[in-house]
Structure 1
Amino acid sequence: NQLVAGGQFRVVKEPLGFVKVLQWVFAIFAFATCGSYTGELRLSVECANKSESDLSIEVEFEYPFRLHQVYFDAPTCRGDKEKIFLVGDYSSSAEFFVTVAVFAFLYSMGALATYIFLQNKYRENNKGPMMDFLATAVFAFMWLVSSSAWAKGLSDVKMATDPENIIKGMSVCHQTGNTCKELRDPVTSGLNTSVVFGFLNLVLWVGNLWFVFKETGWAAPFMRAPPGAPEKQPAPGDAYGEAGYGQGPGGYGPQDSYGPQGG
């Protein structure tokens, strides 16, 4: 309780801490929507000999999308069945994306705890902000790379799990008298969401660079008034000199009377 009471929780209300909270939350959504995915597609094979048909073939696949290891049994319409394997291994881009998200989650949580409970040590000798800035820059770059790679990987996963494309690769579907149909496409809305969260994380980490940069002290020279800036104008009373309107030479006060001079 004393530790919590001594924590500087006001930093959470400031941009530096508030953005870290968003990074922590968005990282959870990124790796959860991708890493927990399980999909299913369904198709049918109707043979000329109806007794050999299979009208409901279910194919399940999941993260990390090593589709070349996923297979299903399809009738050959010749009295037996054959194993049909899906095509492609997209585990590298998916696992890379999830790994970046997990490490971003851990770093955000650690950085937030440092902001709250170790603020003095964080600012000591300016080392904390400098390391924080470098780490933030690295994570911003990693989010760019991993999100782009996973977006491409997801596009390939959709192509490889499209029942129409699978049917095109099944020899039984090209035999006269046989009919193959797709019954259900896999639902990939969760995976689409993971890509969106990936690029949202990219925006957050790039935006947070500025707030961390200001903590390093490197921004101080850019925030000073530029040389040659106009100085503060003197008070109105001093604008015409200490003499005022009617004092001293060159003043604007009234001179001698305009009345007629005695002659």
Structure 2
Amino acid sequence: MKYDLSVFQEPRGVMRIFQFIFAICALYTTLNFEVTVTVVEKAHSNSSTFDYPFRFGQEVCLKSDNTTKLGLSADVSSDARFFVATSVLSVLYCIFITAVYTFIDEIYTSKPEVPLADFMLTTILAIFWLSGSAAWANGASALKQVTNPTLIKAQCPNLIQVVTSSFSRLNISLLFGFLNFFLWASDLWFLYKETYWFKERQPNVDGAGGSNLNAPNI
């Protein structure tokens, strides 16, 4: 099977490589993030770990009345799953479209419907990245609020110490999310230039206009 790698010297090919890499990074940092809450009481300590899809409910310590326990509960699974689904779809689309660029680029350049479909699908995924990143940012804020050591200790005065693990990886996943939106949105200009919408707006320099430039002055 013939293949042509010259497309990776063009912006549309280079952008797909970056989009693939950063979508993988967004997916990895989200799926591998977990938050651990450790509460230390006089007699013992207790650790609770919460990870993807971040839907949990667990009792961690006695409240001030010494009869009921404080439960940590949150459900941001829809936000996390939307973000992860966008990452997966982006990875799969990058693989598919780079295969099109590499093996059947002559169809891409000869059939106007194909670049148009590429442009529209990229637009949809750019919107998904913006929506998914905003939703995941809202979910991350809820996670931080629920596992806030100050709030936990305020409700359980018998605790000696409350330690919550770092949210740095979650923050990095959010950064990758918005960076992916920037990459996919920026790519729209290069893809637009491949569509007939752009090409039919370009002047025909070989036509009558070009001959007038060569005409002698009278």
Alpha-carbon separation, structure 1, partners of 2:213 and 2:165: 69
The residue number in structure 1 matching 2:101 is 115
The residue number in structure 2 matching 1:92 is 78
Quote how far apart the aligned CAs of 1:127 are: 1.4
Quote how far apart the aligned CAs of 1:40 are: 1.1
The residue number in structure 1 matching 2:137 is 151
Quote how far apart the aligned CAs of 1:232 are: 4.0
The residue number in structure 2 matching 1:196 is 175
Aligned residues: 215
The residue number in structure 2 matching 1:23 is 19
The residue number in structure 2 matching 1:163 is 149
Please give the TM-score of this superposition, normalised by the length of structure 2.
Answer: 0.87
Alpha-carbon separation, structure 2, partners of 1:191 and 1:64: 13
Alpha-carbon separation, structure 1, partners of 2:74 and 2:171: 19
Q: Does 1:185 align with 2:164?
A: yes
Q: Are the aligned partners of 2:153 and 2:162 in contact in 1 as well (CA < 8 Å)?
A: no
Alpha-carbon separation, structure 1, partners of 2:137 and 2:86: 14
Please give the TM-score of this superposition, normalised by the length of structure 1.
Answer: 0.73
Quote how far apart the aligned CAs of 1:64 are: 1.1
The residue number in structure 1 matching 2:89 is 103
* Secondary structure in 1 matching 2:53: coil
Quote how far apart the aligned CAs of 1:77 are: 9.8
Alpha-carbon separation, structure 1, partners of 2:114 and 2:200: 20
Alpha-carbon separation, structure 2, partners of 1:192 and 1:98: 15
* Secondary structure in 2 matching 1:41: strand
Letter in 1 for 2:52: Y
Q: Deviations over 1:143-165 (max 9, x none)?
A: 11110111111111111111222
Unpaired runs of at least 5, structure 1: 47-52, 174-178, 242-263
Structure 1 or 2: more helix by fraction: 2
Letter in 2 for 1:186: S
* Secondary structure in 2 matching 1:219: helix
Q: Are the aligned partners of 2:19 and 2:183 in contact in 1 as well (CA < 8 Å)?
A: yes
Alpha-carbon separation, structure 1, partners of 2:155 and 2:47: 17
The residue number in structure 1 matching 2:3 is 7
Larger Rg: 1
Q: Which protein, 1 or 2, shows the higher relative CO under an 8 Å CA cutoff with sep ≥ 6?
A: 2
Q: Are the aligned partners of 1:104 and 1:139 in contact in 2 as well (CA < 8 Å)?
A: yes
Q: Deviations over 1:60-115 (max 9, x none)?
A: 11111113x2343x36799x986542132111101110011110110011111110
Q: Deviations over 1:107-138 (max 9, x none)?
A: 01111111001112223421110110110110
Q: Deviations over 1:219-249 (max 9, x none)?
A: 12443279x99x6487xxx77x8xxxxxxxx
* Secondary structure in 2 matching 1:218: helix
Alpha-carbon separation, structure 2, partners of 1:148 and 1:120: 38
Letter in 1 for 2:39: L
The residue number in structure 2 matching 1:210 is 189
The residue number in structure 1 matching 2:202 is 223
* Secondary structure in 1 matching 2:50: strand
* Secondary structure in 1 matching 2:159: strand
Cα distance change of structure 1 residues 32 and 213 upon mapping to structure 2, 3 Å threshold:
same
Q: Are the aligned partners of 1:140 and 1:202 in contact in 2 as well (CA < 8 Å)?
A: yes
Q: Are the aligned partners of 1:161 and 1:186 in contact in 2 as well (CA < 8 Å)?
A: no
